[in-house]
Amino acid sequence: MAKTMRLDKLLSHMGIGTRSEVRKYIRYGWVEVDGAKPKSGSVHVHPEAQTVLYKGAPVIYKEYVYYMMNKPQGVVSATEDARESTVIDLLEPEDQVFDLFPVGRLDKDTEGLLILTNHGALAHGLLSPKRHVFKTYEAVVDGPVNENDISAFKAGVTLDDGYETLPAELEILSVGDHKSETRLTIYEGKFHQVKRMFESRGRFVVFLKRISMGPLKLDDALSPGEYRALTEDEVNQLLEQAGLSEE
- Is 241 or 247 the better-scoring residue by pLDDT? 241
Q: Exposed (0-12), middle (13-18) or buried (19+): which is 233, by Cβ within 10 Å?
A: exposed
Helix (H) or strand (E) holding 101: strand 101-102
pLDDT of residue 247 exceeding 70, the answer is: no
- Give the whole-angstrom CA distance, residue 11 versus residue 122: 24
User: Stretch 171-199: mean pLDDT, rounded?
Assistant: 95
Give the residue-averaged pLDDT of 61-68. 91
| pLDDT above 70 coverage of the chain, percent | 98
Q: What is the pLDDT of residue 245?
A: 62
162, 129 contact by CB (below 8 A): no
Cβ atoms of residues 59 and 46 within 8 Å? no
Helix (H, G, I), strand (E, B) or coil at 191: coil
DSSP single-letter state for residue 90: G
- Comparing CA positions, the residue from 78, 124, 89, 117 lying closest to residue 229 is 117
Give the mean pLDDT of 41-69. 92
Q: CA 235, CA 118: separation in Å to the nearest integer?
A: 13
Q: What is the model's pLDDT at position 15?
A: 81
Say how far apart CA 37 and CA 26 lie, in whole Å: 8
What is the pLDDT at residue 1? Answer: 46
User: Which position among 81, 89, 95, 107 bears the catalytic label?
Assistant: 107
Rounded to 5°, the CA angle 55-6-4 comes to 110
End-to-end CA distance of the chain: 8
Cβ–Cβ under 8 Å, residues 111 and 137: no
pLDDT tens-digit readout, 114-163? 999 999 999 999 999 999 999 999 999 998 999 999 999 999 999 999 99
Q: Which of 66, 69, 116 lies closest to 224, judged by CA?
A: 69
- Predicted local confidence at residue 17, as pLDDT: 85
Identify whether 8 is a catalytic site residue: no
Smallest CA-to-CA distance from 162 within 196, 139, 136 is with 196
Q: List, for residues 87-117, the tens digit of each pLDDT value.
A: 999 999 888 888 899 999 999 999 999 999 9
Q: Give the mean model confidence (pLDDT) for residues 48-77.
A: 94
Q: What confidence score (pLDDT) does residue 233 get? A: 94
Lowest mean pLDDT among 56-60, 84-88, 135-139: 56-60
The pLDDT tens digits of the residues spanning 12-33 come to 888 888 889 999 999 999 999 9
- Report how far residue 123's alpha carbon sits from residue 210's, in angstroms, rounded to the nearest whole number: 17
| All domains in the chain, ordered by first residue | 5-58 (3.10.290.10), 66-129+215-241 (3.30.70.580), 135-213 (3.30.70.1560)
Residue 197: phi and psi, rounded to 5, are -65, -45
